[in-house]
Amino acid sequence: MENLNDSKTLAIRIAKILDKKKAQQLRVLKVQDLTVLTDYFVIASGTSTTQVASLADEVQFQLSQEGIEPYHTEGFDSKNWILLDYSGVIVHIFVPGTRTYYDLEHLWADAETVDVSQWLEADEAGAQ
């Protein structure tokens, strides 16, 4: 089993969960050198508020099965932008219009983008 106490490992695990649930525009940003808030942002979009809530619920469910609970959550009322704070990793799940409006990738343009494609592809290959 993976050591999910490591922020990068947790960010990759969350990206895998979101990818399996068909999240769109999945990005992982390494922000640890830019802020004391967290080490990584995982940013994704859903096609509707229903999918945004479903994506957030799945992340919480899967991680809770491994004993990991968020320290804080926001946005479950409107479901336009749901935030899950896992301390070392903060997950942002948006509907497309809200994601475009807040444009976190632009705000954190100095952050390193983590290429998770190799882990997602490896996960898909293992499932076949």
Residue 118 has a pLDDT of: 80
Residue 119 has a pLDDT of: 75
Residues 128 and 89: their CA atoms lie apart, in Å, by 29
Of 54, 91, 53, 58, which Cα lies nearest the Cα of 72? 91
Residues 9 and 50: their CA atoms lie apart, in Å, by 27
Residue 89 has a pLDDT of: 98
Domains of the chain: 7-118 (3.30.460.10)
- Tokens at 126, concatenated: 């293992």
Residue 1 has a pLDDT of: 37
3 state DSSP class of 40: strand
Residues 120 and 123: their CA atoms lie apart, in Å, by 5
What backbone phi and psi angles, to 5 degrees, belong to 18? -65, -40
Residue 126 has a pLDDT of: 56
Residue 120 has a pLDDT of: 79
Query: Residue-wise pLDDT tens for the chain (128 aa)?
Result: 345 569 999 999 999 999 999 999 999 999 999 999 999 999 999 999 999 999 999 999 999 999 999 999 999 999 999 999 999 999 999 999 999 999 999 999 999 999 988 877 656 555 54
Residue 128 has a pLDDT of: 46
Residues 118 and 123: their CA atoms lie apart, in Å, by 8
- Tokens at 87, concatenated: 């301390």
Residue 124 has a pLDDT of: 59
Instruction: Give the containing element (helix H, strand E) for 13.
Output: helix 7-20
